[in-house]
Amino acid sequence: MVLSMTPLLDHIQGPADLKDLSAEQLEALAEEVRQFITASVSQTGGHLASNLGVVELTIAMHRVFDFARDRLVWDVGHQCYAHKILTGRRDVFANLRQADGLSGFPDPEESPYDAFRVGHAGTSIATALGLALGAQHRGTDERVVAFVGDASIVNGTNFEALNNLGLVRRQLLIVLNDNSMAIDVTPGAMAHYLARVRLSHTYEDLRKTTQSILDHLPVIGRPMGEALENFKKTIRMQISPSRLFESLNIPYFGPVDGHDIISLIELFQALSDLDRPALLHVYTRKGKGFGPADTDPCRFHSTGPFEIRGQSVEVAPGPRSFTAAFSDAIVDVARADDRVVAITAAMPDGTGLTAFREAFPDRFYDVGIAESAAVDLAAGLARKGLRPFVCIYSTFLQRGFDHIFQEVALQGLPVIFCIDRAGLVGSDGPTHHGLMDIGFLRMLPSMVIAAPACESEMRQALMLAVRSETPIAIRYPRDVVRNGRIDAACEVGPFEPPHGRIVRQGRDPIVLAALGPVLDRALDAADRLEEHGVSVTVFNARFAKPVDPALPEAVAAGKTVVTLEDHYRIGGFGSAVLETVAAGGPAGADGRVLCLGVPDTFVPAAERASQLDAAGMSVEAVVQIVLAHCDAAHKSRFKQTL
């Protein structure tokens, strides 16, 4: 008989099963959950360090609240693994972040315990405020908790929500999970403030604080208001740095040890029925319980599969990525031009700026989770003659659009947007795809949008950007850099807007115009079409804006242009080609544009390659579309001869 490594966890089918566990059992359960998360993520990949840090906190919340009825709103949401395990989804963790599997983020379609589908920072407090106000209007009594962690408290939207908490006259608890980090070390004054709060209290202070809270819990016959006032006075005596939140008229409690389950349970019980909003400041250790993640939480914030050997880890080296290519290129560009500065929004490692930060610490700026501020900072730097590179994931750049419009495009400033994770991103799913950047950027006058297909074009794009006197965006995917013939295809001609390049000349009046690394699929499709007797031209578009005049000219000459892009079809590169063709007047007799791209839907998690296939851009799909067009064109010409 094989003994289970998780005997307590094996009996947890839902949060109700936590009610009867003793203090010792709850602590043992936390270790089992932590072991399960580590083992599971080692097989599937996922967000590891953040989840290891919130296990006790999650158990304590579920012990006190009933989130099938009460509402728990996550900020970002990647810290939800323990929550999912405790709410009946443990058995499907083998499919975490896989096609048709368990999402790596909260998802109401999975479980009634998930209030919102989320993945971005700064949204939880305002959303929770809306839920609390809705309950206030409806006269319902469900309790509402906003879970804010991994430095998302510094996001401006959360501060806007804190400023509006006075709108609600009922319970609303904000749990501030303070682990000193977002993905990387958290920058900024707010992080330093919280650090001072943490350092001003020892664990002994925290135990005394917990006891003080227990001493002042309301009892039968004692008015809640009097008990709460005593409660607050006691806390204030021990925690003077609460002034920031108290100045906003938000009762502040903490900081408390986020790994002390019993004290957390007692705290949540005390705070669960307050008649006004309150904030509980909890500090945790990102990566707790697994040595490598504890030592290097940045590396294990999000990880692919890895091999556990005791407390050591072996991660298989992967092929070279576009992020790595960008990382090397921007350092070289900065060495050649001292005007170059780099800006990120709490993601220096994810955006490939770690090497830049080490090489040029005085030319590197991390604004925290504040994309709009990153754009505005870049505008000011550009106005003073510098060349700022704003390095942000595509999905997060959306949050700064108004600032791109007013502070950059309207001023005509030479700000360079380096848009990582452009296109389909794979296992992180719909909140993280970068499928809208072409659509919202190409509407801005003077904006240039480049899409390098290979590493050499990445370098050329950055050199072009430094020379530019207007805004430019460079988009590239979460993917590997292709070697071989795509590199050879990229070598053709200088990298200058609006010009793309013919990389394969065909005999038939069909052009496959590929934007970015999907050029590889276009070349493969061209090979397959040759086997069917169809010879197509393959065109490396290079720029989504401006559109190369060669494409509308080809349509005007009666050719069919098939566009391929890793972006939504609506508003994308293909749409831009269609608009350019329409603006130029009637096409030739047989000229037309066929747009291949991501359809009008939210794309679930899966492998990136399979997502591209499902979007209709597999090599076989491209081949069949071209063959179907050839067949239709042949039939049309046959009818015209009758």
Strands (E), 93-143: none
Is residue 174 within 8 Å of 140, Cβ to Cβ? no
Instruction: Determine which of 245-254, 348-357, 507-516, 528-537 has the lowest per-residue pLDDT on average.
Output: 245-254
84, 97, 285, 399: the catalytic one is 399
32, 56, 266, 371: the catalytic one is 371
Reported as a pLDDT band with limits 50, 70 and 90, residue 294 is confident
| pLDDT value, residue 152 | 81
| pLDDT value, residue 181 | 58
Instruction: Determine which of 78-82, 100-104, 223-227, 527-531 has the lowest per-residue pLDDT on average.
Output: 223-227
Q: Cα–Cα distance between 634 and 627 in angstroms, integer?
A: 10
**What is the edge-to-edge ordering of all strands in the sheet holding 592-598?**
501-504, 537-540, 510-514, 560-568, 592-598
Q: Cα–Cα distance between 499 and 517 in angstroms, integer?
A: 17
DSSP state of 145: E
Task: Give the pTM.
Answer: 0.87
Q: Cα–Cα distance between 407 and 405 in angstroms, integer?
A: 6
Reported as a pLDDT band with limits 50, 70 and 90, residue 640 is very low
| pLDDT value, residue 214 | 46
Is residue 497 within 8 Å of 441, Cβ to Cβ? no
Q: Cα–Cα distance between 84 and 90 in angstroms, integer?
A: 7
Q: Looking at this protein, which amino acid is placed at residue 411?
A: Q
Average pLDDT over residues 127-151: 93
Question: Number of C-alpha atoms within 13 angstroms, CB side, residue 273?
Answer: 9
For 412, the token pair is 């005509």
Known active-site residue 286: yes
Known active-site residue 371: yes
Reported as a pLDDT band with limits 50, 70 and 90, residue 65 is very high
| pLDDT value, residue 292 | 87
235-261 confidence digits (pLDDT tens) = 443 444 467 788 888 999 989 999 999
Q: Tokens 């309301």 sit at which residue?
A: 218
Q: Cα–Cα distance between 247 and 234 in angstroms, integer?
A: 17
Average pLDDT over residues 558-565: 97
Average pLDDT over residues 616-636: 87
Provide the total of helices (H) and of strands (E) in the chain, helices listed first.
25, 19
What domains lie within the chain, and their CATH numbers?
63-79+97-287 (3.40.50.970), 322-475 (3.40.50.970), 499-641 (3.40.50.920)
* Residue 222 or 581, more confident: 581
Q: In the predicted model, what is the mean pLDDT of the chain?
A: 88
Q: Looking at this protein, which amino acid is placed at residue 66?
A: D
Q: Cα–Cα distance between 535 and 540 in angstroms, integer?
A: 16
Question: Which residues have a Cβ under 8 Å from the Cβ of 132 and sit 6 or more positions away?
Answer: 144, 168, 170, 171, 172, 277
34, 63, 97, 286: the catalytic one is 286
Question: Which residues have a Cβ under 8 Å from the Cβ of 225 and sit 6 or more positions away?
Answer: none
371-409 confidence digits (pLDDT tens) = 999 999 999 999 999 999 999 999 999 999 999 999 999
Known active-site residue 399: yes
Q: Residues 218-236, buried b or exposed e (16+ Cβ, 10 A)? A: beeeeeeeeebebbbebbe
CA geometry: angle at 344 spanning 413 and 424, to 5°?
95
Reported as a pLDDT band with limits 50, 70 and 90, residue 304 is confident
* Residue 218 or 448, more confident: 448
Q: Tokens 């810290």 sit at which residue?
A: 79
